[in-house]
């Protein structure tokens, strides 16, 4: 009799091992909506630590994307993440680091792309 009970318990345990995620099927794990924005920053923004500043701020906000210098003297910032975090990034980009002189920031929607972190591109 004991052997039959052990066998049934073993069969149940093996069934659970085959589908370990089954116990979570009742729960919905939702990701926050991801949006992306492209910022073009103009003014004295190259050679003053602007890319490093943008990378530090965006990383602190948990955003992913990149920052890079453009040939025309502007800086391009692509950031993806929750809309409220992107809203926090925009005023920081308008302020810039200590020795910069931001004259304007053009902002537009962008297609979300996958980046593992926020990077400085050369």
Burial of 119 (0-12, 13-18, 19+ CB in 10 A): middle
**Catalytic site residue from 18, 69, 74, 103:** 69
What whole-number distance in Å separates Cα of residue 119 and Cα of residue 115?
A: 9
What whole-number distance in Å separates Cα of residue 36 and Cα of residue 20?
A: 34
**Catalytic site residue from 6, 51, 94, 98:** 51
Catalytic site includes residue 51: yes
Catalytic site includes residue 6: no
Catalytic positions: 51, 69
């Amino acid at each position: 009799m004991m052997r039959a009970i052990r066998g049934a318990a073993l069969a149940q345990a093996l069934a659970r091992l085959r589908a370990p995620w089954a116990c979570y099927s009742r729960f919905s794990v939702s990701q926050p909506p991801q949006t992306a924005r492209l910022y073009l920053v103009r003014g004295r923004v190259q050679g003053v630590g602007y890319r490093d500043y943008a990378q530090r701020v965006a990383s602190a906000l948990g955003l992913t994307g990149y920052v890079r210098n453009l040939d025309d003297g502007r800086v391009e910032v692509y950031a993806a993440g929750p809309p409220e975090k992107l809203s926090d990034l925009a005023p920081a980009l308008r302020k810039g680091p200590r020795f910069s002189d931001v004259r304007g920031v053009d902002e537009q929607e962008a297609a979300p792309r996958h980046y593992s972190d926020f990077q400085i591109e050369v």
